[in-house]
Chains A and B, each alone.
Chain A
Amino acid sequence: MKRMVCLILLTALLMPLFAQGGVEEKAVLDMSAPVTLTIWTHEDANRKVLEQELIAEFMEMNPNVTVDYQTYPSSKMRELLTVSFSANQGPDIFNQSQSVVRQFVIEGRVSALDPEWIGEASLDDVTGRYIPGALAAVEYDGDIHGLPLEYTNFCTYLNKNIFRDAGLDPEKDYPKTWEEVMEVSKKLVLREGEIITRRGYDFRYPSYTMQFLPMVEQLGGKLMSDDGKTAVVGDEAWLQFFTYMRDWGPEGYNLGGPTYLPPRKVFDNNNNEIAMSDSGLYQQGRMKKANPDFFNSDDWMVIPFPQFEDAVVETAGAIACHYYMVNGQIDTLNQMWAWKLVDFMLSHSADYLEQVNLVQPTYELFESDAFAALPFSDVFAADMKKGDLVYFAGNSSAVNDKLKGAVESAMLLGEDPATVLENFRKEIQILIDDE
């Protein structure tokens, strides 16, 4: 009996080793064969309506294709995808940001696009649709593994009334440098004792590599050396940045912090709670829905991403890109139909822009009248030219968390910037060595 139990346990333990093989199979492509595709995407009420309409149209054009469209909270998507793909049970189509998709690309979990499936003669023709760098996170070994759904950079939304209330002229006094952001915020902030009741400006805290890393890069600092082997380059830049963040937080001038309500949500309410907040062009759609009176008023404007006074590199906020990708472990027929569906949806870039305020990085869209007609789209477009894609690598989520930890140490725990820098360097070096 004991021997039997041991044998069963041993077999069960060794089973995963033999189950690691892929699920690849080649099928003869029968275009009329029935196909069911599952899409997992993050929740976005406006986008859901548009995409469900597009999917219905696609299914009408291709009656053999059935699509199961499922939405999940954006905070849960990475976890769901990781678990499902690890069990070889991933959805046929999914979307994620550049930082997350890179892991799926590197590990060979996603399908490489055959350009003929979407009616293009070559991959160059596919690349030629998009502005330079837009596909960088999904390019690997000469293949393309995803198509961009949205391309987002952050600029600063400014409430003119709050500026006027503080005796400032929004058109002239809006901050152009990070030093001015701090000085203007000191004038705009209202407190009851130590408790802030109105913020001048506050950062977009979860987006550390998107917003904070470019600040360091402006000062000449880098996350790692050009050969990718040494962590944290340009100590002076990093020290200046950590000092700035310490001054910003409760240990310094007490101008804001990550535990206050997210600025972009508070900004839309126009309840005299925050004067400036960073967000993408898509925020206009949300503002329009949440507070149409404010959206239609002349009481707000958008200003470019600030620069440090002693910046050595002119860099705007980094650009986040969400890609639609196809599961590389499903059979070829399903992969082909999945790519066709993705391409069909994304070919309606004007609809995504008009109905959801999502920008796809195509030449066609950037040169369109619809894009030019959006309020302050010129500000976003000008900053996009100065920014790069948000840092993406197999370890980008960990890097974002380490930078978060470092900023918190300086800002919330009031640690000495030099100590913060040394700890941060060690942590990033471990991640680099681990790759």
Chain B
Amino acid sequence: MKYIGIEKKKARWGYMFVAPAVLLFFMFSLYPMLNAFYNTFFNIKLLSLRAPKFVGLKNYIFVLNSPSFWNSMKATALFTLGAFIPLTIFSLIFGLIVTSRMRNQKAIQLLMYTPAVLSSVVAALIWMIIFDPRGIGNSIVNNILQTHGIDHRWLTDPVMLRVSTVTIYVWKYIGYFTIIFVTGIAKVPESTLEAATIAGASTMQTIRLIVLPLLKPTTLMVSIVTMLNCLKSFSTQYLFTQRGAPLEPLNVVTLNIYNTAMRDLNISRACVMSFLLFLVMMILTLSRMSSSERNVTEY
């Protein structure tokens, strides 16, 4: 009988425990991704019963020469920049505010987290009522600016449309990321903060020189997750365009993918766009991670 060492025995159990997760990952994540990439080289049409033909790089050439795709890249980039930066900064600020309060900390966290529980469709519907020309969006802004009767065209002007979608997104997810920052701040060692207080550091100095540097891993994680989520944003833009808002300023890559697949039935071109979006996401994530690795702080 062949002798099996204790380490190998342990490793077998390890493999068994991770097997279900690995299997599910292969079935529902890796396989669809590889299959989508494989499909990019064929002319697969949804509904078609004909066998797909191999077309090489034709789909890539078509998509990369398509003005619609580049408009989508622009719409996605503007939305991501518009949502990702304020989302990261404000959730950090709110995280600091929440942790600095002694009273009602849980209640504030709960209140801030509430929008994240809503489905994106419901959130968009609520905000569409607010942004309706006769809705409270115009009323509030007109009251503040003393501009009675002005229609700020939240749902029709290209700039305002982007502001509207970004507003909804930030409103919906700021609570979620605030809580992640609260958790990160809670991990800052109490002894380090006490040492800073004894050394005579002011609150601002403590935040700037101790809390923020120690929060870098959390900030990195939040910034990557928000960036990826923004790049994948779909529901708000979809619902807005379904309710009459112009498509061009809102036609983010995910919406373009959806229309190419479900309306035009061209699943191969949709796969090309998905793959290109994946590449963009991968490059941005890797560059963000490498830039952070150069500035690690330890106490």
Contacts and interface: CB of A to CB of B under 8 A. Distances in A.
B70 to A, nearest CB: 14
B35 A412 contact: no
B3 to A, nearest CB: 21
Nearest to B30: A9
A278 interface: no
B21 interface: no
Interface in B131-156: 132-134, 138, 148-151, 153, 155-156
A127 interface: no
Interface in A153-203: 191-197
Contacts of B35: 12-13, 16
Interface string A363-404: 000000000000000000000000000000001011001001
Number of chain A interface residues as a range: 35 or more
Interface string A95-117: 00000000110011100000000
A205 interface: yes
A156 B17 CA distance: 67
A395 B264 contact: yes
B148 A193 contact: yes
A197 B134 contact: yes
Mostly, the B contact residues are: loop
Contact of B34 (A9, A108, A191, A196): A9
B34 A13 contact: yes
Which residue, A12, A79, A196, A427, has most C-beta atoms of chain B within 10 A? Answer: A12
Interface stretch (A49-57, A212-220, A257-265, A349-357): A257-265
Interface in A71-97: 75, 78-79, 82-83, 85-86
B150 A194 contact: yes
Interface size of B as a range: 35 or more
A79 B138 CA distance: 35
A9 B149 CA distance: 62
A405 interface: yes
B259 A409 contact: no
B242 interface: yes
A234 interface: no
Given A197-B134, A259-B133, A401-B263, A17 B31 contact: no
A22 interface: yes
Given A193-B148, A250-B151, A103 B265 contact: yes
B104 to A, nearest CB: 39
A413 B158 contact: yes
Interface in B18-50: 31, 34-35, 38, 45-50
Contact of A13 (B38, B133, B158, B245): B38
A85 B151 contact: no
B249 to A, nearest CB: 8
Given A78-B262, A401-B247, A20 B51 contact: yes
B56 interface: no
Contacts of B38: 13
- Residue of A9, A195, A427 with most partner-chain B CB within 10 A: A195
Nearest to B147: A193
A193 B31 contact: no
Contact of B156 (A75, A85, A250, A401): A250
A408 interface: yes
Contact of A79 (B133, B155, B156, B262): B262
Contacts of B194: none
A86 B265 CA distance: 10
A419 to B, nearest CB: 13
B151 A109 contact: no
B142 to A, nearest CB: 8
Contact of A20 (B49, B67, B149, B156): B49
B150 A85 contact: no
B86 interface: no
B246 A405 contact: yes
A405 B244 contact: no
A413 B153 CA distance: 11
A104 B48 CA distance: 9
Contacts of A395: 264
Given A82-B262, A103-B265, A194 B46 contact: no
Given A12-B35, A191-B149, 5 more contacts: A82-B47, A194-B150, A259-B155, A260-B132, A405-B246
Interface of B: 31, 34-35, 38, 45-52, 67-68, 132-134, 138, 148-151, 153, 155-158, 242-248, 259, 262-265
17 contacts: A20-B52, A75-B242, A78-B262, A79-B262, A82-B47, A103-B265, A107-B49, A195-B133, A195-B138, A250-B153, A259-B133, A398-B264, A401-B259, A405-B248, A408-B246, A409-B248, A413-B248
Interface of A: 9, 12-13, 16-17, 20-22, 75, 78-79, 82-83, 85-86, 103-104, 107-109, 191-197, 205, 250, 257-261, 395, 397-398, 401, 404-405, 408-409, 412-413, 426-427
